Structure formats: C-alpha cells, structure tokens
Amino acid sequence: MKQLVLGNAAVARGLYGAGCCVISSYPGTPSTEITEEAVKFPEIYCEWAPNEKVAMEAAFGACLAGKRSFCAMKHVGLNVAADPLYTMSYTGVNAGMVIGVADDAGMHSSQNEQDSRHHAIAAKVPMLEPSDSAESLKFAKLAFELSEQFDTPVLLKMCTRVAHSQSLVELSDRVEQPVKAYEKNIGKFVMMPGNAIRRHPVVEQRTAALTEWAETAPINRVEMGGTELGIITSSTSYQYVKEVFGDSVSVLKLGMANPLPIKLIRDFAAKVKNVVVVEELDPIIENHCRQLGIEVSGKDVLPITGEFCQNLVAEKLGGEVHTGKALEDVIPPRPPVMCAGCPHRGLFYTLSKNKCTVLGDIGCYTLGAVAPLSAMDMTLCMGASVSALHGFNKALGEAAGKTVAVIGDSTFMHSGMTGLANIAYNGSNSTVIIVDNSITGMTGHQHNPTTGYNIKGDPAGKIDLEALCRAMGFERVRVVDPYDLKACDAVLKEELAADAPSVIISRRPCALLKSVKHAAPLTVDTDKCRSCKACMKIGCPAISMKNGKAHVDNTLCVGCGVCEQLCAFGAFKSTK
Amino acid sequence: MKTKNVMIVGVGGQGSLLASKLLGHLLMGQGYDVKVSEVHGMSQRGGSVVTYVRYGDKVYSPVIDKGEADYIVSFELLEAARWLSYLKPDGQIVTSTQQVDPMPVITGAAEYPTDLVNKMLATGAKVDALDCLSLAEQAGSAKAVNLVLLGRLSHYFDLPEEAWQKSIEACVPAKFLELNKKAFELGKNA
C-alpha cells in the first residue's frame, strides 16, 4: 500500500531497502530527517558525527570495510566534506557509498544558496536528483547500484521542496547485501602522487562511461507533448513545469544532474522548435546545452536566485498566472525570534549592554543579531566566530576593544576547536563564549559530543568542555548561567579586562528540551509597572505593551525570570 | 478531480505540523494523490510558517501559489491576512481570532493592523473566524487549537465524520486522544 512519506524519510527507506549498514551524518536543514528516520531501522548503524568531513570519512571507512554506507549533510556541509569527496572520486569505493546533500534554494534555513551540482562536476562524481518522495526512495537504491557498478561515490541531491514535502510512496523491503571482503590495494586506496596520477585517467574514463549510461538511463526521460516548446528540467522544477503545462509541452526530465547526457539532449532539442531550461539556482544544464551548441533559453527569462513556483514558471513561459487579492494594510513581518525562555537571551542582552563587538556563528543564537538585541556583528560559517576573533584581535591589538566570539556547543565541536587551538598557539588576547545549551538546537534537537548521549538517546561519551579548553592551554575558563544577568555581566567584564585569552561557557539547556522543567509563567502587577519598557529590551516574544503597561503572554512564558531582573519596580511576579 | 489546495498558516510552534499530518492522512485515505509541503529550521522559531496540503487525481507541485488556495486555515489573525493573496477568488478562510504580536510590533517598529476580519471580508473572501484558543482551553489544552481549527474546517469538506475520527486516532498520541477529539468537536459545533 502506498504511504504519504516525507522526501527525507523516503531516502531513509531507500537506504534501508538497499541494504545500507552504516550511516554517519551531521545535522543540517533540510537534510536532517534522512538520518533521523534511518536510525529507526535496527539493521542500520547510525550516528551523528562532529562534522560533515568526519561523517563522510567514517562512511568511507565503512564502505572500504565492505558494507554499503551513507552520509547526509546540507549544501554548506558539503564544503566541509569537500576534501575527502574530491579524492574519494579517485579511490572509488569497495562496497557502495552514497552521499546525501540537501540544497536550500530560497534560504529557508541557510546562510547562502549555493548549488551543490558544482561539487559533483568539480569532484567528477555522479549525482542523482529526485523530484518527489517516490523518486527519493528509488534513486537512493539506484545510487548504490551505480556506486558499485562504476566504482564511485554517488551524490544524491535533495532540495528543500523535495526533502520537506510528503508525497505517495510504494514501500519496498530490505535486500541484504553480502559483505564485500576488504582487500589491500595500495594503488587504488593510497592516494599519494604516484598512485593518484594513475587514478585520474580512471576517473575520466568513468565519467565517459557514466555519460554513456545517462544517454539511455530511464531516470532521464522524454515526455513528448508537441513540437513547439521543449523544456529541459529536473528536481522540483519538473513539478512546477508539469503543474503549469501538464502534457501540452514536451519535457526532458533529467534525474541525473552529473554527468549530463549529450545525444539525448541533442535529439530532444532537434524535435522541438524552442528549448527552455527550467532549473533553480545556477545555469548548469543550460551551460551544458550551450557547450553542445544547442540554442536554449534559461536564465535570460528565469531567475538565478531563490526558489521557483508554478506562477513564476507560468509568468515567464506563457502559462496561466493565478492572482489573489491582498489587503491595503501594511502587514508587519514576522521574522523568527529567540524563543521565550531561550538561554541565549540573557547572554546577548549582556553583550548588547556592554556594547561588545560580537563575531557570531551558525545556530539559533544567530538570532542574537535581530532587534532589539542586535548583538551580533558577523556570521559567516560554522566555526568562523573563533577563528575570525583571533584575526580581528591580531589586526587591531588593544584597539580591538570589547570584541568576543559566540559559538554554540555543537558548532564548537564541529569546527570551533581548531580556531581555539589557533588562539592558544598564536596567542591573541581573545574572549570566546561557548553558548552551551546541551543540544544541537536549530536543526531540531540532535545530540552532539558534549551532551553525553548518542543519536538514539542512549548514554555515550561526553566531552568535558572546561577540561578540553584547559588542555588547549586556556587558564581562564569560566562557567556562567545566562539566566543570571548580574553574574553574566560580572564574568564578561572580568574576562574582557583580563590580560590573557579566556573561554566563557554560558550554560543552560535549551528551553524547548522535554527534559527541562519550567517555572510558572510570570505576570505583571500593572500598579507597579511604570511603563519604562526596560523589559522590552530583551526581545522576548512573551512580553508586549498592552494599554501602556507590560503584559506577559502566559501561553508563551516559561518563567525564566530574565525580565524580572530588568524591572526596577518589582512589577513582575510569579503566577505560582 | 482537479487539485484542491489547503494552506495552513500560523506562528512557528503553534502546531501546524500535526494539522497537516492529519489532513494528509485523511485525504490519502480517500484515495487522492496528496502532497504536503512544510518548512523546518530557522523560520520555525516564532516566525511566520506555512504548510501546503494539495490533493486531487494527480498533484505535481508541492506548493500552493498566489490565487490558488481553496482554503486557508490560520492559527493567527495577522497570518491569515498575510497569506490572503494566496486565496482563490471564491476561497474560504477558517481562522482563529488569536493575535500574537510579531517582534516589530513588540518593539514598536510596526503596528498590528486593526479590524482584520472585516477588511478580509471586504475583499470578497469568505471568512469564518472563531476564538479557537478559548475552545482549545475548554477542551483541556491551549495546544489543541489545531484540532479546533480542523473541526471547523470539516464543515466545508464533504467527507464522512468517521474518516475524520479515524485520522485523528491515527495521528494523535493515544495519551491526548480524548482531549483532541473534544477540541475537534468544539470547533465543529462552534
């Protein structure tokens, strides 16, 4: 029977069906659920690795050992894992290995909208691109077959709308794969120059063979519907094209993003009068066509930025555009905010009050940049806060003033440690703040090496952050509770004044964790409230001004008491 | 059947994921092709969230575009207004009258527009607005607003009561089943 399955869950189901045995991933929207769903199958060993590079290398080790393996990451995670990827292309695999990468056109939850297809082309690795959940399952299984047939890791490219959409899927059973006995093969697996020189031509021959395969592969299919307009498309863009035009135009639907077929595209283009390429983000299929000397339209009519949708495709390609009525009123935007009771709030309030320059990082705490806290000056990529703080301080010395780095526990484990090593080694007077909320928050509560639990929630190795920082040479390691504003302020001032590098660990578990018990909501004594709005400086979504007085929304308030500490008139009280 | 479109809109954390899961289950059970599209991550943190539910003989796009929604189900008044342009000319809005100030309103940078229900009606939209939060609290939990809204939405769907009940049972944790069934009833009969 068919089931309604999330794209990412369908990938997990495909991995299960293909007999995949080992999965190592780092969470990242929109890829996270692949691994979270796969862990539900007892036949598959799953783990959260500290970062994507470690995950990919762990998966590589597993495939080398002879079992089918997988790793998942978001698009920017593939940059972190690019180093092993580009050389795994040379070594090839033993048992099959597949890498799931999820792009985020539209940047629903990302810092850029890079197109992962570039990595597939540059690394010379095949990439499959499903357009719905049924294909997600099918392509995950096919990816393992290709991996073993062509001796290559295979990329499975998801995007937000495929990863986070549910559609109907026919589930299939697991087929166990025999272990491919590991055999020593120095020439294939030891990539030193002498061996790599011999492997590179193998990679080029493989790409030629894969191109040949792509010419007739059923995942690249032609749906003829007239000779006027032919659309070449892939992934979720295919769905928008079909939504607008149904069977009234001809479509070449490409399920393989790399390598792209040549003859298939030439033949399709020859059958229609005009060819348009409909692809999100970069003009990769379009440039391929141009290279073949085929006259196509693409980014001259469709945008290179953001997500597509059916109205956009209709508007640009002459379909029926739907419109609706809007109100004349200005609808205020509703940007994401730190949750009520978020432990990061007290820390960012303290940083804002002390007028610090804050080099930030990737996680929920990036929301510290949002008004009214506005307590962040830079966010770049995982770990950059720590490394950039060092550079900032080296450049300006004493003149750097009150500059700090803020990084989460999971992000610190991912790539903050190496930056901290640089501070210790090359000696800058830097103050690094680790906001330790005991979980990977933004991606929906995944454990990491500092939480003491593994992906299944079972007890696991726990890295002691204080001991780690001390072992790296930091003599000043302080721990503070961000709900205690006075203590936060005092510790921050001391560490900024100190003539030595320091680490402040701002520690309190995420307020959304089920294990966290909340205090009763607060309420405002309107007789005591003087409408000074001091409590409004922390940007808590539970506090607003109603009839000139502060008001607490009791459905949101978790009684953290940070607002209470800001009120000089004792207007906040517990409802307990 | 031509594809029908339901948008579920609200503020991150209000429970729209359960509502879409339940609708998806219900419509699949009726033999339709179904697609449900949601967004996870950053925008869930108290931001404006939207979930698309589409069903029919064959559904292609996972998203609903401007002027295409047959129904907009809204957990919050401002969010109903925000997504109004996605409604079909003859579409139906089912909304909670709850108002949650967005951060620009809290900080004083913007104002929460007044009289939104009447303004939406004035555009020709059909609007069914009710105090879902009070009804959910009456059922036993403020978190049951999603089931109150679905109960109300069930008015406009030509589906047997039994199918709704089956989907509630399939999608809601057993511990909260009675509470959610009560919330559904209260919404339906409001």
Contacts of B113 in chain A (CB under 8 A): 327, 329-332
Percent of the residues in chain A that have a pLDDT greater than 90, as a whole number:
97
Q: Which two tokens stand for residue A369?
A: 């940049």
Nearest alpha-carbon partner for B185 in B170, B158, B164, B163: B164
Distance CA B127, CA A496 (A): 57
**What are the tens digits of pLDDT across the range B109-155?**
999 999 999 999 999 999 999 999 999 999 999 999 999 999 999 99
pLDDT surpasses 90 at A15: yes
User: Going along A84-175, which residue ranges are E strands?
Assistant: 97-103, 127-128, 154-159, 165-170
Residue B44's pLDDT is 62
At A346, is the secondary structure helix, strand, or coil?
helix
Q: Give the confidence band of A534 by pLDDT, cuts at 50, 70, 90.
A: very high
Distance (Å) from the alpha carbon of A208 to chain B's nearest alpha carbon? 33
Distance CA A21, CA A68 (A): 6
Residue A449's pLDDT is 98
Cα three-residue angle B39-B45-B49, rounded to 5 degrees: 40
Distance (Å) from the alpha carbon of A319 to chain B's nearest alpha carbon? 14
By C-alpha distance, the chain A residue nearest B61 is: A239
DSSP state of A107: -
Residue from B106, B126, B137 whose CB has the most chain A CBs within 10 Å, to mutate: B106
Using CA atoms in the order A280, A285, A291, A292, what is the torsion angle rounded to 10 degrees? -140
Contacts of B78 in chain A (CB under 8 A): 331-332, 334
Residue from B16, B27, B42, B145 whose CB has the most chain A CBs within 10 Å, to mutate: B42
Mean pLDDT to the nearest integer, A240-255: 98
Domain spans in chain B, listed from the N-terminal domain onward: 4-189
Distance (Å) from the alpha carbon of B65 to chain A's nearest alpha carbon? 6
Distance CA A453, CA B81 (A): 43
Residue B39's pLDDT is 77
Nearest alpha-carbon partner for A538 in A333, A334, A347, A332: A347
Q: Give the confidence band of A556 by pLDDT, cuts at 50, 70, 90.
A: confident
**What are the tens digits of pLDDT across the range A349-371?**
999 999 999 999 999 999 999 98
**What are the tens digits of pLDDT across the range A366-388?**
999 998 999 999 999 999 999 99
Distance CA A154, CA A151 (A): 9
- Spatial CB neighbours of A210, under 8 Å, sequence gap ≥ 6: A126, A146, A150, A152, A259
8 A C-beta contact, residue A38 and residue A25:
no
DSSP state of B94: E
Residue from B54, B60, B98 whose CB has the most chain A CBs within 10 Å, to mutate: B60
Cα three-residue angle B11-A103-A53, rounded to 5 degrees: 115
Residue from A3, A5, A327 whose CB has the most chain B CBs within 10 Å, to mutate: A327
Listed by number, the residues of chain B in 25-44 with a beta carbon closer than 8 Å to a beta carbon of chain A are 25, 28, 33-44
By C-alpha distance, the chain B residue nearest A28 is: B41
Distance CA A382, CA A110 (A): 11
In the chain, the amino acid numbered A50 is P
Distance (Å) from the alpha carbon of B41 to chain A's nearest alpha carbon? 6
By C-alpha distance, the chain A residue nearest B3 is: A243
Residue from B5, B8, B30, B40 whose CB has the most chain A CBs within 10 Å, to mutate: B40
Residue A505's pLDDT is 98
Mean pLDDT to the nearest integer, A412-425: 98
**What are the tens digits of pLDDT across the range A479-514?**
999 999 999 999 999 999 999 999 999 999 999 999
Total Cβ atoms within 10 A of residue A74: 29
Q: Are residues A330 and B110, on separate chains, in Cβ contact within 8 Å?
A: yes
Q: Are residues B60 and A240, on separate chains, in Cβ contact within 8 Å?
A: yes
Contacts of B106 in chain A (CB under 8 A): 536, 539, 541, 543-545
8 A C-beta contact, residue A91 and residue A191:
yes
**What are the tens digits of pLDDT across the range A277-320?**
999 999 999 999 999 999 999 999 999 999 999 999 999 999 99
* pLDDT digit string (tens) for chain B, length 190 residues: 899 999 999 998 788 889 999 999 999 999 999 999 987 666 567 888 999 999 999 999 999 999 999 999 999 999 999 999 999 999 999 999 999 999 999 888 999 999 999 999 999 999 999 999 999 999 999 999 999 999 999 999 999 999 999 999 999 999 999 999 999 999 999 8
8 A C-beta contact, residue B92 and residue B126:
yes
Q: Are residues B65 and A322, on separate chains, in Cβ contact within 8 Å?
A: yes
Total Cβ atoms within 10 A of residue A205: 10
Distance (Å) from the alpha carbon of A187 to chain B's nearest alpha carbon? 44
8 A C-beta contact, residue A524 and residue A549:
yes
Spelled out in words, what is the top-level CATH class assigned to the domain B4-189? alpha beta
Question: Where are the alpha helices (H) located in A414-484, listed in sequence order?
Answer: 417-426, 465-471
8 A C-beta contact, residue A292 and residue A261:
no
Contacts of B123 in chain A (CB under 8 A): 325, 327
Label residue B64 left, alpha or beta by phi (over 0 means left) and psi (-120 to 50 means alpha). Answer: beta
Residue B41's pLDDT is 62
Label residue A99 left, alpha or beta by phi (over 0 means left) and psi (-120 to 50 means alpha). Answer: beta
Distance (Å) from the alpha carbon of A364 to chain B's nearest alpha carbon? 7
Nearest CB among B66, B113, B123 relative to A331 is that of B113
Distance CA B70, CA B83 (A): 12
- Spatial CB neighbours of A282, under 8 Å, sequence gap ≥ 6: A115, A117, A118, A304
Nearest alpha-carbon partner for B128 in B65, B49, B190: B190
pLDDT surpasses 60 at A180: yes
Q: What is the H or E stretch that residue A534 is in?
A: none
What is the rounded average pLDDT for all residues in chain A? 97
User: Going along B23-179, which residue ranges are E strands?
Assistant: 33-37, 48-56, 69-74, 87-96, 126-130
Mean pLDDT to the nearest integer, A219-228: 97
Beta bridge partner(s), residue A453 = A459
CA quadruple A211, A215, A217, A219: dihedral sign: positive
| ipTM reported for the complex, 2 dp | 0.95
B126 and A CB contact within 8 Å: no
φ, ψ (nearest 5 deg) of residue A550: -65, 145
Nearest alpha-carbon partner for B51 in B36, B65, B66: B36
B89 and A CB contact within 8 Å: yes
pLDDT surpasses 80 at A565: yes
Distance (Å) from the alpha carbon of B49 to chain A's nearest alpha carbon? 9
Q: Are residues B62 and A309, on separate chains, in Cβ contact within 8 Å?
A: no
Nearest alpha-carbon partner for B103 in A342, A566, A335, A538: A335
Contacts of B60 in chain A (CB under 8 A): 239-240, 242-243
Distance (Å) from the alpha carbon of A11 to chain B's nearest alpha carbon? 16
Angle between helix B177-189 and B145-153 (nearest 10): 50
In the chain, the amino acid numbered A110 is S
Mean pLDDT to the nearest integer, A74-78: 98
Question: Where are the alpha helices (H) located in A474-550, listed in sequence order?
Answer: 485-497
φ, ψ (nearest 5 deg) of residue B57: -70, -45
Using CA atoms in the order B29, B30, B31, B37, what is the torsion angle rounded to 10 degrees? -70
- Residue count of chain B: 190
Beta bridge partner(s), residue A311 = none
